[in-house]
Chains A and B, each alone.
Chain A
């Protein structure tokens, strides 16, 4: 029998994986992808708890998170492209100058 705890623990594990990605990776695209993993872990919690409480609010918040994720991806990737034009690298540590 699958209970709410199963879903919450899975979501915790996914969130930690995403956090590890943000901490450890030195590639801007992978960092953005790790943020998506974290957002998805949060979505899973919302849907699972919404199912537990019997309301649709969990799904609605998930819907909003998805739209925000889309906006974030668009802006983030536009920034990545602009940065890449200046330095020809995706390593976030390369961008140390305050001005160029």
Chain B
């Protein structure tokens, strides 16, 4: 049988990316618990594996053996589909993110393949489209559970995500304007090189306001503290996933962490120069990508355990009256700069 090595390499890439996402979600669970523990002056998980590093796997095994509960008044079909939509949307968004240069796998392949599942020429819009699909998982979960806490969580989540999507998109638009391309690979390549020989040409330095807006909107999009209203445990028990248990709960959990990884990976590609970095040879540059993504992820965790939750009206006021005008002004300023400097 004649096997095309390029197709095998692509399938292998998909396999690796999928498993890396699952593993990084597991790693994030461990990191979150450890960091939270140190912030609160505790030790954190330290029984399973080295320093509790196998704790997430133990958790997953525990969740798998739990009973799958389903409320009697729930809408059966949508109740089952909701976590699947959440998880699928979370994984699908990562498919357009580049994480390394082109490689021939040490000469195994005749044509070099880019380290990326697929290179779409409207990549940023694809990410945005898939992110807007993620809201359905949460909304359907909240509605189909037929419980007041779930419904409130879902309503809050849809309002919050629609409000912050605007600022998110406007922050992205400023970067698109600078790069003149919608392809993430081209945007990263545009950030190659240095100013004055030592400052990397990252868009972070051209778009500091945009980066801050993106990070804030990203936290709101992924429903993390201090914007975790859809699940605010003190008010809504567990929000949209109150009625979920066992593996369907695990899927929501997974989706949340994978979403964080995706948002950080997009931020890395747009503002922090993606896989670009000094010293390492070309085929190892994905290490830089991993380092940058995990620094941003650490920032997420740090923020969650440091800042208290906003009030819901404050969230809306902040989103519409501060973040959105700031994003619009940033866009105007960027457009003027691009026009002025050519």
Touch between chains A and B, by CB atoms below 8 Å: no
Which residues in A have some Cβ–Cβ distance to B below 8 Å? none
Which residues in B have some Cβ–Cβ distance to A below 8 Å? none
